[in-house]
Amino acid sequence: MSASAERILLHLGRSVRRPIEPRDIYFLEATGETTLVRLRSSRPLRDVRSLGEMCAVVAPFGVLRVHRNHAVNVSHIAEIRRRDSEADWEVTLAPPVNRVLPVSRASLKRLWAAFGER
């Protein structure tokens, strides 16, 4: 596999593309018609594609949609726990991001399956 095959292109604008390694993605967040891509760095990048389009690109690299507004890289999940309501779940991402994101009930089975559980 060539080095370029291990990278994807973020579409930062009509005429700007930035190659990144998918393993560097911590999470994606829908922001209207665009998607914030949170990498290890503190400043997220904005891809002009929707979250659905981005998920199709990064799913083969372990990025899983866990909510209508969020997708996470399962390799950067530090903890999965119940929320205060006892019915809902959330994921905590590893440092340096340390972000807590909700998991929809519809996505919970896919999340467990990503870790080999039912």
CATH number for position 27: 2.40.50.1020
Domain residue limits at 107: 3-114
Over residues 32-49, mean pLDDT:
93
d(CA 68, CA 98): 20
Say if residue 3's pLDDT is above 70. Answer: no
Measured CA to CA in angstroms, residue 32 lies from 5, 52, 69, 85, 96 at distances of 29, 11, 9, 27, 26
Please state the pTM of the whole predicted model: 0.91
How many structural domains compose the chain?
A: 1
**Kind and range of the H or E element at 60?**
none
User: How does pLDDT run across 5-29, given as a tens digit for each residue?
Assistant: 689 999 999 899 999 999 999 999 9
Determine the length of the chain: 118
pLDDT tier, 80 (very low <50, low <70, confident <90, very high otherwise):
very high
If you average pLDDT over every residue of the chain, what do you get?
Answer: 92
Beta strands 100-103 and 89-93: pairing type?
antiparallel
